[in-house]
Amino acid sequence: MSTVVREVNPLEGSEKPYRIIQITDSHLGASRDQTLLGINVFQSLELVVELVKQEQGQNFDRIIATGDISCDGSEQSYFDYLELVEAFGQPVSWLPGNHDNPAVMANISNALLQQQKVVDFPGWQIILLNSKIENSPGGRLPKAELALLEDALQNANGKSSMICLHHPPVLVGCGWMDSQHLDNDAAFFKLIDQYPRTQLVLWGHIHQLFDTVRQRVRLLSTPSTCHQFEPQQQQFMVGQQLPGYRWIDLYPNGQIDTGVSRIKSTPFEIDYLSLGY
């Protein structure tokens, strides 16, 4: 079933928001025949992109992918992602996940791809961080990324800030996945706690919906465009939920409105009994 979760009602009379579409954790391969857990990941991403077209048209301002765009770090996988989303004609931002190759990503050229790590627009800035640890499923923000974050927050000039990374900076209640969370989360939160205009942290990696608030900061994750992970499980378990995406409205006054939508059905025979991949 398609689900739309409206979590905050927009204020009447507010200025038009900046709308972001998060299409993430697609795990594309060098071949469009690549499958994971019974899902053709390219075709599954196509279905999610089609859902965005049906629900949003071109009425948004930016696409953000919060990592694991690729499952093998191949150049072709990144071009395939861009080919599917460039039909919207909107800017695309991305950051690496544990399966990605940051060097390959940095060398990709595309008319809509914007590689800057800080994006400014009225009332807000988006900060994109690299939490990848080489040869590890877990995450960490190195000193250079923390320094970039601090500099951006110091120079926000009164704007609200949205921080994007791949790994969750908090435990999400999934035992096997919590072992892969951001391992220097204390340093991360010590930094952002100094800046009260930090409003939102957004990530991927966990292939499931997550939404909480920590000391005024909204913390969000988003379904993958391919397989899902069952929430609140101590061991690996494939989720029954279907692929989807998240939209986020950022109002100039600092208000946030967001929702998640999923495809209605899937043509794939998902391997729900898998113990990993």
Domain extents in the chain: 18-262
Q: Is the pLDDT of residue 108 over 70?
A: yes
pLDDT digits (tens, 9 = 90+) for 147-167: 999 999 999 999 999 999 999
Is residue 11 pLDDT above 90, yes or no? Answer: no
Cβ-in-10-Å burial (0-12, 13-18, 19+) of 215 comes to exposed
In eight-state DSSP terms, residue 106 is H
* CB contact set of 34 (below 8 Å; sequence gap of 6+): 27, 28, 40, 41, 42, 71, 72
Provide mean pLDDT across the span 83-106. Answer: 97
The pLDDT value given to residue 76: 98
Predicted confidence (pLDDT) per residue in 172-194, tens digit: 999 999 999 999 999 999 999 99
- Tell me the pLDDT band of 4, cut-offs 50, 70 and 90: very low
Q: Which CATH superfamily is domain 18-262 in?
A: Metallo-dependent phosphatases (3.60.21.10)
What is the residue-averaged pLDDT of the chain? 93
What does pTM read for this prediction? Answer: 0.93
Single-letter amino acid code for the residue at 164: C
Residues 218-249 have pLDDT tens digits of 999 999 999 999 999 999 999 999 999 999 99
Q: How many separate helices (H) and strands (E) can be counted in the chain?
A: 6, 13
Q: Are 180 and 139 in contact (CB under 8 A)?
A: yes
pLDDT digit string (tens) for 28-75?
A: 999 999 999 999 999 999 999 999 999 999 999 999 999 999 999 999
Give the model's confidence band at 275: pLDDT under 50 very low, under 70 low, under 90 confident, else very high: confident
